[in-house]
Structure 1
Amino acid sequence: MSRLILFNKPFNVLSQFTDRSIGADRLTLSNYIDVPGVYPAGRLDLDSEGLMLLTDDGRLQARISNPRFKTPKTYLAQVEGDVQEDALALLHKGVMLKDGPTLPAEAERIDDPALWPRDPPVRFRKTVPDCWISLTIREGRNRQVRRMTAAVGHPTLRLVRWQIGDWSADGLKPGEWREVRV
């Protein structure tokens, strides 16, 4: 039977088991997960948080992470500015990035989610409003969500991947993981 681990990656943790940079002393997956033979099905940037899936099954790993399968990934993004319907409409249609157009996304403005505090916290600016959106994409380009929100005029301040397919980070604190049946 395949193993599947749901891990809530904290901010400032590499989404790999080793740090190949010389002289760096950064946290990696090995600081949290001591399960032999599992590998990440996809990545999260160092400055992104939330759900990562790890498995020992190569076919399952490809099914989750390969863009041709269009597995939906839902992100909660705190963005700069007051997002209006016109920006959401652009995200719904897909936006043009330097590496080409994105597929249409599901996007909606949401109330502030009940998330764990980030350490360090997002910088607060009295004169610049911010809000939260939920964004579901079916691709996985490098820093795609951040680039999409910036393309519609709302740079991302905090990014949390909440769900991949049917699996979510619900009930997992940062740094916690659980194994689920596949």
Structure 2
Amino acid sequence: MALIAFNKPFGVLCQFSPERTGPPRPTLADFIDFPGIYPAGRLDHDSEGLLLLTDDGRLQARIADPRHKLPKTYLVQVEGEPDEAALQALCKGVTLKDGPTLPAMAERIEDPALWPRDPPIRVRKSIPDTWISLTIREGRNRQVRRMTAAVGHPTLRLVRWRIGDWSVEGIAPGEWREL
């Protein structure tokens, strides 16, 4: 059984084959040459961080399937400065167009001093930004971005830091490690 932790850079698609339409974008094949593995879950092209890949179908399902409720921790740079009410709303769960989210763990954190993003986020001199740590046990489409927007703080940068006990710590963007 193989299990790989990959630090997916911004702009990379979570698939091995290129898209058939639109401008060419980098894929997992541009970074990982390890036959027979597949992503256990997804990260949007504009999100960064931990992506687990495996050749074990049962493990892939356990990691990716929301029924197993494996915690996923994201470091999220948001626009503005969320107050305690906004953080509590995230903790209780917010209502999105596709229904309420499960309760999450949310807290304001210091700047995590991550690698630079290419391209950098947009910076507005008149609007501050804040980092939060957000742990969810679901995996809806663009859920973290929709949750922060629902409490009035759009996401500027999204880095998945941890899935269960696995972390991206110590893995540079575009690099992978066999676990």
User: What range is the shorter-chain TM-score in?
Assistant: over 0.9
Aligned to 1:32: 31
Aligned to 1:128: 127
Aligned to 2:8: 9
Which aligned segments of 4 or more residues in structure 1 are displaced greater than 3 angstroms? none
Count of residue pairs the alignment pairs up: 179
SS of alignment partner, residue 117 of structure 2: coil
TM-score under structure 2 normalisation? 0.99
1: distance between equivalents of 2:170 and 2:148? 27
**How much has 1:22 moved relative to structure 2?**
2.2
- Report % sequence identity: 74
TM-score under structure 1 normalisation? 0.97
1: distance between equivalents of 2:36 and 2:121? 35
Q: Which runs of 5+ in 1 are unaligned?
A: none
For residues 143-179 of structure 1, the C-alpha deviation after alignment (integer angstroms, 9 at most, x for no partner) is: 0000000000000000000000000000001000000
Matches of residues 92-111 of structure 1 in structure 2 within 5 Å?
A: 92-111=91-110
1: distance between equivalents of 2:29 and 2:36? 12
**How much has 1:20 moved relative to structure 2?**
2.5
Matches of residues 1-182 of structure 1 in structure 2 within 5 Å?
A: 2-180=1-179
1: distance between equivalents of 2:159 and 2:170? 14
2: distance between equivalents of 1:25 and 1:70? 34
SS of alignment partner, residue 60 of structure 1: helix
Whichever residue aligns with residue 134 of structure 1, its letter is S
For residues 36-71 of structure 1, the C-alpha deviation after alignment (integer angstroms, 9 at most, x for no partner) is: 000000000010000000000000000000000000
Q: Which runs of 5+ in 2 are unaligned?
A: none
**How much has 1:23 moved relative to structure 2?**
4.6
**How much has 1:24 moved relative to structure 2?**
2.5
